[in-house]
Structure 1
Amino acid sequence: MILLNTLFTLPTPLHTRKANPTKAISASHQALRRCVCYDLHKQLIPYQEAWSWQKSIVRTRHSLLGQDEDHSDVVVVLQHPPVFTLGTGSSEEYLNFDVKNPPYAIHRTERGGEVTYHGPGQLVMYPIVNLRYHKMDLNWYLRSLEEVIIRVLSSTFSIKASRIEGLTGVWVGNQKIAAIGIRASRWITYHGLALNVTTNLTPFQHIVPCGIRDRQVGSLRGLLEENSASATEDAILLDITYSSLLKEFSEVFQLSLQQASISKFDFSASSLSLVV
């Protein structure tokens, strides 16, 4: 078992402005806010464990509200073993299987959105961000997460991606390459985005992804092959995409990232020791 406070010590906060619990603080009027990044992008973390960890961090962040001690946002990047997740209002009509005999585990969560699939080769980013220090607007937050993906595809892979009005996520042509589903509790976000990099897309056939019947799901690997890009090993492509994700995330949200590489971690809430 490895506890976070045995791995590293966080430096003195970069900003000293007191948090206003009712008004967001513009990043342009303060030093870049710190964000601790837990790098698990090479690992398959069971969904239930990562979900419990997010909720534990959110509870810790709640305890800091109003105390001028919430000095850092958090972002976790990882992969999951095959799993289906449903949003709080998801309909089982979008499942192409008997819910009593699913091909993979199913979890109904408190995030927004319909059913989606997570699996190896998909980079999942969970930002746990205090929007009081950014912008207290969930529509802005969703569009900002989309912007991160759009920039990654453009700057690193010269792929033009876009939004589709009325839908959440990122698209390349008719293919949805990234899904987004979030939850905010007292303006602290959790859940996040999932980008298909080298993902096997076959499991998506078991569902109607995000409840959208007339569009396809794509992957970065598939798009590169369509464009006759030179072959890149899956592990290398995941590493390149991960690095680009962090770069664009830090720029879009104006955050100073501090990496925390972890080779082994116990996600159970009872053993979690978080320094913020």
Structure 2
Amino acid sequence: MTLLGVYCFISVPSLASPCPSLPLWPHYNLVKPLSYSKPSKFTSLLIKSHRRICELIDLHEEQVPYELAWSLQKEIVKEKKAQIEKYGDCSDTLIVLQHPSVYTLGTASTEKNLNFDLKSAPFHVYRTERGGEVTYHGPGQIIMYPIINLRRHKMDLHWYLRTLEEVVIRVLSSTFSIQASRQEGLTGVWVENKKVAAIGIRVAHWITYHGLALNVTTDLSPFKWIVPCGIRDREVGSIKGLLTEAQSCVSHGTDYLHDLDDANLIQTTYKSMIEEFSQVFMLEYQNKTISLPMLYEKEKFSLMKETQLG
């Protein structure tokens, strides 16, 4: 099925903001003061010949129900497989969005990591084909679903996971001066003992889907109902929580974050994420407009078609 969409070339805007800088945050090894003046690396609306094209489906301000995003991913994967069979290649796609509160289970998930009865779950629960254990998605968490052809990047799943981690590590360092890291033997991004980004992927015929979730302004309380990613001896953190803690450590009551409301923090993080993603994967974006009402309409049409075929 052909996806509804309108294409246009875009460049990523700068991250300039009037928000004041924070002093150094020694507790979390900040590498420089908090800054929102990082200039964009993109200076042209033209597709650069040495970069692959990536469709950008930007729904980062929307709360897209998990089943709609899941269905969209699988449809795009199907289309890309068909393009590869016909043309030998396909463009890449990046979907960015938020979800309403939901729990998802990966292929390694066991119910022992759920602190509730599935019959009375606090939110919808989906068992998916991605790797990994149980996690939570919700408002204030930016989700990236890259659907890319690894044949044109690197056919190495370990490399792909580490590269997704690198995107988040760069965002935290360059935009928020937070020193993040990897944990040996684990997948994701950490600030000391707190996991701020979870990663779970599926790769079929070297085409990726599912992806990463970065806690920005997320309410972390729903994580208490699960053992996140099956890891019992670690905490979960968010960018807002880390910055708030930084303020309490160094400001002595001065409100350094008074201009940093949730909407501004989401917007700033989003811009940094798509910029760092394009740099790490050497991609240039084309905007593909798909609205939430369009997704609902597509899902309704698909269900009607399945009913007719049945």
TM-score band by shorter chain is 0.7 to 0.9
Q: 2:196 is matched with which residue: 161, 177, 202?
A: 177
TM-score (norm 1): 0.87
8 Å CA contact 1:33–1:71 kept in 2: the answer is no
Name the CA distance, whole Å, in 1 between partners of 2:240 and 2:289.
25
Q: Residue 4 of structure 1 corresponds to which residue in structure 2?
A: 4
SS at match of 2:266: helix
Which whole-Å CA distance do the structure 2 matches of 1:197 and 1:71 have between them? Answer: 32
Alignment pair present for 1:129 and 2:157: no
The runs of at least 4 aligned residues of structure 1 exceeding 6 Å deviation read none
Task: Confirm or deny that 1:85 pairs with 2:104.
Answer: yes
CA distance 1:270–1:69, shift in 2 (3 Å) = farther
Of 27, 40, 46, 2:65 maps to: 46
Identity of aligned residues (%): 59
Q: Shift of the alpha carbon at 1:262? A: 4.4
Q: Is the 8 A contact 1:56 1:269 kept in 2?
A: no
Q: Aligned partner of 1:50: which letter? A: A
| Contact 1:34 1:71 (8 Å CA) reproduced | no
* Aligned positions of 1:1-276 closer than 5 A: 4-5=4-5, 7-8=6-7, 31-68=50-87, 70-228=89-247, 229-231=256-258, 232-267=260-295, 268=298
Q: Distance in 2 between matches of 1:9 and 1:242?
A: 19
Structure 2, unpaired ranges of 5+: 11-48, 248-255, 303-310
Letter of the aligned partner of 1:235 in structure 2? A
Alpha-carbon shift at residue 100 of structure 1 (Å): 1.1
Deviations 1:69-124 (A, max 9, x none): 63410000000000000001211000000111100000000000000000000000
Which structure shows the higher helix fraction? 2
Deviations 1:154-195 (A, max 9, x none): 000000000001000000010000000000000000000000
What TM-score does the superposition give when structure 2 sets the normalisation length? 0.78
CA contact under 8 A between 1:37 and 1:258: conserved in structure 2? yes
Shift of 1:44: 0.4
Displacement of 1:8 in angstroms is 2.7
Residues of 1 paired with 2:97 and 2:125: CA distance? 18
Q: Which has the larger radius of gyration?
A: 2
Q: Where does residue 24 of structure 1 map in the other structure? A: none
Paired residue secondary structure (1:67) = helix
In structure 1, the residue matched to 2:41 is none
How far, CA to CA, are the matches of 1:33 and 1:270 in structure 2? Answer: 33
Structure 1 residues 211 and 222: alpha-carbon distance in aligned structure 2, compared to 1, 3 A threshold: same
Q: Which moved more, 1:214-223 or 1:30-39?
A: 30-39
Distance 1:266 1:206 in 2: 33
Q: Distance in 2 between matches of 1:161 and 1:4?
A: 38
Aligned mates of 2:292, 2:196 — CA distance in 1:
29
Corresponding residue of 2:44: none
What CA distance in whole angstroms lies between the structure 2 residues aligned with 1:52 and 1:66? 21
Amino acid across the alignment from 1:57: I
Give the equivalent residue in structure 2 for 1:25. none
Rate the CA distance shift 1:221–1:172 in 2: closer, same or farther, 3 A. same
Deviation at 1:258, TM superposition (A): 1.8
Q: How many residues align?
A: 252
Contact 2:62–2:292 (CA under 8 A) maintained in structure 1: no
CA RMSD of aligned residues (A): 2.0
TM-superposed CA distance for 1:9, in Å, is: 6.3
Secondary structure of 1:149's counterpart equals helix
Output the CA distance in 2 between the equivalents of 1:38 and 1:89: 29
